[in-house]
């Protein structure tokens, strides 16, 4: 039989790849990752080790911007020995102005040990919005016995 679908018994090799199964697998993986990703970011209670850290090398040419949070949750901005009380909203504006004047100035955060973790996270987020790429955390060494 010679019809439009039968060409003498010889098949021509197909030069296309069927991508439908590949798309199906990728969609399944996407759904799996969308479901598991929020589970990976949840906190787990851990006991952190207590270690002493080495002090960072201070740059003599640039005085760091120090942002402090006290026990009551008030924010202070310290530049070159001058310390002023600021709100969290105006802190970003002041840091932006300072970094425009002197780009690359280090920014350090000094937080009271009794400040809730959420306050420090809000401060770090505000600094990130202000364009601060790296933030140093100031701590005190443990008492010597």
**pLDDT exceeds cutoff 90 at 124:** no
Three-state DSSP class for residue 67: strand
Q: How many domains does the chain have?
A: 1
Contact 94, 59 (CB under 8 A): no
Over residues 77-87, the mean pLDDT reads: 83
Q: In terms of residue numbers, what domain contains 110?
A: 65-137
Query: Would you say residue 103 lies in a domain?
Result: yes
In this prediction, residue 64 has a pLDDT band, given cuts at 50, 70 and 90, of confident
The alpha helices in 8-145, defined as continuous H runs, are: 20-40, 88-101, 117-129
Write phi, then psi, for 81 (nearest 5 degrees): 90, -20
CATH number of the domain residue 113 falls in: 3.30.420.270
Q: Give residue 42's pLDDT.
A: 44
Contact 76, 68 (CB under 8 A): yes
- Supply the pTM of this predicted model: 0.56
Q: Which residues make Cβ contacts (< 8 Å) with residue 64, sequence separation at least 6? A: 58, 105, 106, 107, 108, 136
Query: Would you say residue 53 lies in a domain?
Result: no
**pLDDT exceeds cutoff 90 at 129:** no
Q: Give residue 3's pLDDT.
A: 54
Query: Would you say residue 133 lies in a domain?
Result: yes
**pLDDT exceeds cutoff 90 at 26:** yes
């Amino acid at each position: 039989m010679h019809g439009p679908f039968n060409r003498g018994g010889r098949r021509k090799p197909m030069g296309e790849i069927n991508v439908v199964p590949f798309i199906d697998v990728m969609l399944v993986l996407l759904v799996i990752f969308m479901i598991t990703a929020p589970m990976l970011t949840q906190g787990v209670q851990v006991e952190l080790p207590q270690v002493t850290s080495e002090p960072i090398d201070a740059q003599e040419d640039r005085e760091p911007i120090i942002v402090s949070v006290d026990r009551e949750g008030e924010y202070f901005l310290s530049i070159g020995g001058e310390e002023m009380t600021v709100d969290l909203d105006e802190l970003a504006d002041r840091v932006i102005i300072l970094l425009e004047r002197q780009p690359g100035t280090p920014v350090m955060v000094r937080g009271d040990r009794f400040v809730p973790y959420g306050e420090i996270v809000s401060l770090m987020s505000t600094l990130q919005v202000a364009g601060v790429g790296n933030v140093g955390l100031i701590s005190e060494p443990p008492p010597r016995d």
